Amino acid sequence: MTSASTQPRDIFQFLDYREYLRAYFEARKLEQPWYSFKVMGEGVGLDQSQVYRILQDQLHISRAAFPRFVSYLQLQGKSAEYFAKMVEFSRARNNAQSRKLFAELLDLRGSRSLTLETAQYELYREWHHPVVRALLGILPIDNNYELLARSLDPSITISQAKQSVELLRKLKLVERNSQGQWRLTGNSISTGSNYQSLLIRQYQAHSLRLAEESLDRHAKEERDINVINFGADEEAFRDCMAILKESRRQIQQRIERVEKPDRIVRLAQALFPVTHCVETTHEAT
C-alpha cells in the first residue's frame, strides 16, 4: 500500500487520468527507487507491459481493472468519483458525451480555481473565446463589454464577453494597460498533447458550422467558401494536404505584415474523404 507522502499533487488538478497515474508513478519512484512497472502491475493485477502502455497513453484501464486501480491508489469518496469521471472523459467518443463529462469534472472540482490545463480546455470549448482574445489586440476596450459583444459576428451576449475576458485574464493572455484597457500580454498557448482531445475537435467542428452559417450571413465578396469533389490516390491526397499546409504558411507570412488590422478573420479549411477507399481495376478496351 502507499503512504500519503508518495501521493502526487491534488488529483483535482488533473484532467487526464493517465497523467495522474504518471505523476503517481514518479512520486513513488522518487521515494522508493526500486519501484517499477512490475511492482505497480502486481498491485493492480496487470502485467507490467499493460501498465507501461496505460501510462504511455497506448491503452485504457479496462472496466474489470478499474476497481483495483481505485483500491491501489487509495482513492475514496469524491476523489474516487473524480478518477472515474477522468477515465470516462478520456474514453468519450462524441462531442455531446465529452461536454457532459467535462462539465461533471468541473462540478466535482467545486469552487477550486481554474488550473492552467482546465483553462486551456475552457478556451476551446466556445468558438468566441479565441476571437475575443484576437479582438482585444486591435480594439481598445476597458469596461465596455457591450461594444465587445456586438463587435463579434455573430454577436455574443455581454455576459459571454465578460466571461471570455475573465478566462483570458486567468490564462494571462490579456492584462490591463496603464489606461485600464485590456491588451494582449504576448503570451501564447498551445494545445500540445491535448490537440486530439474531443474538446479541440468540438472547437474545430464549431468553426466549420460558422463557415456554413457565413453562406447566409455574409455577402459573397466577404467570404471564400468553395466545395469540389475529385478522385485521388494516396499520393495525390497527401500532396493536397501538403499544398494546404504550405498555403497556410504563406497566409501566416502575409498577415504578419499587417500593421493596423480592422477585423478578425477565421480560416477553417477542410479536406476529407467522402467515400471509402475502393479497389479499382483498369482493363484495356
Is residue 73 classed exposed, middle or buried when 0-12, 13-18 and 19+ CB atoms within 10 A define those classes? Answer: buried
Please report which residue ranges of 95-154 form alpha helices under DSSP H.
95-109, 116-123, 128-136, 145-151
Q: Where are the domains of the chain?
A: 4-93
Please give the pLDDT value at position 136. 93
Please give the pLDDT value at position 116. 58
Contact 15, 89 (CB under 8 A): yes
Q: What is the mean pLDDT of the chain?
A: 84
Rounded CA separation 11/185 (Å): 30
Q: What is the DSSP letter of 148?
A: H
Rounded CA separation 163/170 (Å): 11
Q: What is the DSSP letter of 61?
A: P
Please give the pLDDT value at position 199. 60
Please give the pLDDT value at position 122. 74
Please give the pLDDT value at position 213. 87
Question: Which residues in the chain land under pLDDT 70?
Answer: 1-9, 95, 111-120, 188-202, 279-285
Please give the pLDDT value at position 164. 94
Please give the pLDDT value at position 283. 47
141, β-bridge pairs: 182
Share of the chain above pLDDT 90, in %: 49
Residue with cell 464549431: 206
pLDDT tens for 140-150 read 999 999 999 99
Q: Hey, which CATH number is domain 4-93, 1.10.287, 1.10.260, 1.10.357, 3.40.50? A: 1.10.260
